[in-house]
Amino acid sequence: MDRHGAVTPSEVAVALDPADAVARLGLIVLSTDLTTERDAARIVPPDHAAVHVARVPFQNPTTPENLRRMAPLLTRAADLILPGEPLAGIYYACTSASVVIGDAEVGEAIHAARPGVPVVTPTAASLDAFAALGVRRIALVTPYLPCTTVPMVGYFERGGLETVSAHCLGMEDDRDMARVSAQTIIDAVLAADSDAAEAVFLSCTALPALGVIDTLEARLGKPVVTSNQAGLWRMLRHAGLMADRAPGRIFATPLGVA
């Protein structure tokens, strides 16, 4: 302290112990998103990581055409997340947009602002999750319109997965998707599931599906993977972290950091 009892800058620097550092995780969500930040708060261990959010403009309905309009906006959104600070990864939290824009194109747009930072999409993360679980055949459930659901089936086929059934709720506004009840989600999964499916994928980061994963896995006897569950699982692996309160079999399944 100086002679007046004030803390000096050098003392402030000493007080910032490097052992207290946390992994900083970037998150890009839609301007209309009501769900992803809450899901991240449930999964990311607060003592070891912090989530820093930027929002990207989006206008409903969630048609492929509207989703593609986000592509040129991702670089600016990534640039707003703690400029100059190191990030363990950036998660772009939109499943359907990742399909119509493309995982690689999303990565390129984000890397234009944050080169070298690992980029996670819920789609690529779900492929990683199913590979880690040894799953090749899935039942697909989405809240989307049919025109947005059909490209999801093609995406998984290109990724080496067979979609044995696909069920969509026919919704066009992601804010309505965020208000779907737990029972509606459970009923949709039960309608889509079959003996041929080795697992179920619940698509859409807006869908409040995290709370029904354990219930569904117990009832179906098979893995249930959701968009935010997979994306946050992959993000934590990039940060070298484990979640101690996350739902689903996938969090008990090891995966080396890519």
Angstrom distance (rounded) from CA 126 to CA 156:
9
pLDDT of residue 18: 52
Helix (H, G, I), strand (E, B) or coil at 51: strand
> Over the stretch 48-83, which tens digit does the pLDDT of each residue have?
999 999 999 999 999 999 999 999 999 999 999 999
pLDDT of residue 15: 44
Helix (H, G, I), strand (E, B) or coil at 116: coil
Decide which of 82 and 256 is more confident.
82
pLDDT of residue 20: 53
Tokens of 216: 């569904």
Angstrom distance (rounded) from CA 184 to CA 169:
9
Please determine whether the domains at 13-121 and 124-229 fall in the same fold group of CATH. Answer: yes
What sign results for the dihedral spanned by CA atoms 163, 165, 169, 172?
positive
pLDDT of residue 217: 98
Average pLDDT over the chain reads: 91
Q: Average pLDDT, stretch 230-251? A: 92
Angstrom distance (rounded) from CA 204 to CA 142:
7
Residue 13 CB-density burial (10 A; 0-12 exposed, 13-18 middle, 19+ buried): exposed
Indicate the pTM of the whole model. 0.90
Helix (H, G, I), strand (E, B) or coil at 149: helix
> Over the stretch 91-127, which tens digit does the pLDDT of each residue have?
999 999 999 999 999 999 999 999 999 999 999 999 9
pLDDT of residue 256: 43
Residue 17's pLDDT band (boundaries 50, 70, 90)?
Answer: very low
Residue 9 has pLDDT above 80, yes or no: no
Domain ranges of the chain: 13-121, 124-229
Fold of 124-229: Rossmann fold (3.40.50)
Does the domain at residues 13-121 carry the CATH identifier 3.90.230.10? no
The residue assigned the tokens 């968009």 is: 227
Percent of the chain's residues with pLDDT above 70: 90
